[in-house]
Structure 1
Amino acid sequence: MTRSFVTLSFATLFLCTSLFVSSLAAQESKKSNPEFSFGAEVVSSYIWRGQNYNHTPSLQPWAELSWRGFTFGTWSAFRVTGDGDDEIDLYIAKEVGPLTIALWDYWSYSKTNPGQYFNYNPETTSHMLEGQAILSFGEENRFNFLFSSIFYGSDPSKSIYGEAEYIKTFGKNQLSLFTGYQFKGEYYHSSPGFVNLGCTYQRQIAVKENFTPYVSLSFVVNPSAGSTYFIAALGF
């Protein structure tokens, strides 16, 4: 598959999504000025959806631009020590009411597996493309429901993953409970099952009005793999 065909597929997929939600978007008042934000986390280990990516610790910067309900962003993970691959991701998302539709491009590389960023050959690429749909409800008591599907790239099993999350905010504190299940594929485990159960406690640190770093502690269990993780993080 050529790079141009992959690019055309991205554009077609997102255009269809945008047309689908445009009627809902007309009911909302969107800010006309773009908003840029950025930050970073330092985490004791990189655990994602119950998988250990062997970063001990990991530096994870991010940046995004939001405008008229669209968000364009990048998220990365760079190991300080450990044997895992480094990662640079790009995403585009459209939010309308409680629904967010997103397209992610995950790219991993290392000295032993350098890869080529513009290589989208399905047999040799280091990219994974994933479509996401997220439903969110509430504010101080928030429920998030994620459905995601890897449809192209370095996961030939085309894994499908779902996650439910409850977030309780009280003052400068936040507590989240989550459960994740692999419905199809072998990316998160060799067979379907629960792969990501846990909780996270987060506390904001008052420094000054426009700068509020936070610390968090997470306990994560992957029942399918029999793995348990405890993660500490500092974000700003």
Structure 2
Amino acid sequence: MPNKRFKIIFLLLILTVPGQIKCLPQTPEHEKLTGFIGLDLASKYIWRGLKLSEGPVIQSNAELFFRRWNFGIWSLAGFSAKDCSEIDIYLSYTYKNFSLTLNDYFMFNDSMVPSYTNYNKNETNHVIETIIEYSGSDSFPFRLTAGLNFFGDISNSTYFEAVWLTNAGETEIELLAGLSPQKGYYDENKSGLNNMGGNFIRRLTINDTIILSLKFSCIYAPFIDELFIVTTLGLN
């Protein structure tokens, strides 16, 4: 019953937000089709309190922007065959500080690569999530995220995250806390707070098209009671 209640509430949010934004006028941002590519090297892969690699990983992404739409592909590869590899395809619609995203996660490891085109709900390695996100403003410096797995996850797990955004000189700071109210996708036996920590980011502009970034992350995963230090070097 709790799972069903969370799912109904989330679906009501999904239906309400697009209804409020779809009739609003378009802005001239991204009137022309524009592209973006990025490459990161991270010392470890920790995602929403889940430890998905034992060592370094390479992350890459490519995105296309047109008006309020954003289509992208994000991939991850570990240096060990036992580490998680991932290919995500996503589509987002953004209005002002709000975005609605459909994300298809495909996770595997090199020791056993499943069929990418297998969308049989009892066999697939795909998990599809709907995400609503609010990106903060100067008067409300928070990023709020709510996600619902509606395919590939028998628990239809939800995830909620709040991030406080601030700066210390030229260093960007993100302090975050995330939780999953149900047992299931993030842990079969636990629910509640599963992700907390902080990101500290410095960016160096090389020219108009290239930016280097260095991110230091301190992450505590309550479900497994582990603390992680992750360093990420990015080229965007």
Which of the five TM-score ranges fits, normalised by the shorter chain? Answer: 0.7 to 0.9
**Same amino acid, percent of matched pairs:** 26
Structure 1 residue 27, shift from structure 2 partner:
5.8
Alignment of 1:142-157 (within 5 A): 142-153=141-152, 155-157=153-155
TM value normalised by structure 2 = 0.86
Shift of 1:16: 9.8
Matches within 5 A, 1:113-152: 113-139=112-138, 142-152=141-151
1:21 aligns with 2:21: yes
- Count of residue pairs the alignment pairs up: 221
Q: Contact 2:172–2:202 at 8 Å: present in 1 too?
A: yes
- Long gaps (5+) in structure 1: 1-13
Instruction: Pick closer, same or farther for the CA change 1:78–1:50 going to 2, 3 Å.
Output: same
5+ residue gaps, structure 2, are 1-13
Aligned to 2:201: 202
Structure 2 match to 1:178: 176
Query: How far does the alpha carbon of each residue in 1:116-169 deviate from its partner, in whole angstroms, 9 at most, with x for none?
Result: 11100001001000000011221597311000011111x222211000001113
State the distance in 2 between where 1:85 and 1:106 align. Answer: 12
- Match of 2:21, SS state, is helix
Distance 1:156 1:60 in 2: 28
| Cα distance in 1 between the residues matched to 2:86 and 2:64 | 20
Counterpart position of 1:96:
95
CA shift, 1:31, in A, is 3.4
3-state SS of paired residue (2:22): helix
Q: Shift in Å at residue 191 of structure 1? A: 2.0
TM-score by length of structure 1 reads 0.86
3-state SS, counterpart of residue 213 of structure 1: strand
Aligned letter for 1:71?
N
Contact 1:140 1:168 in 2 (8 A): no
The residue type paired with residue 155 of structure 2 is: S
CA RMSD of aligned residues (A): 2.3
Poorly superposed stretches of 4+, deviation over 3 Å: 14-20, 27-31, 169-172, 206-210
Is the 1:173–1:201 Cα contact (8 Å) retained in structure 2?
yes
Give the CA deviation at 1:110. Answer: 2.5
Change (3 A) 1:125 1:90: same
State the 1:82 CA deviation. 5.8
Over 3 Å counting, the alpha-carbon distance change for 1:27 and 1:54 in structure 2 is closer
Displacement after TM superposition at 1:45 (Å): 0.3
* Closer, same or farther: CA 41–127 of 1 in aligned 2, 3 Å: same
- Equivalent residue for 1:214? 213
For the residues of structure 1 that align with 2:77 and 2:16, how far apart are their CA atoms?
A: 34
Taking a change above 3 Å as real, the CA distance of residues 110 and 49 of structure 1, as seen in their structure-2 partners, is: same
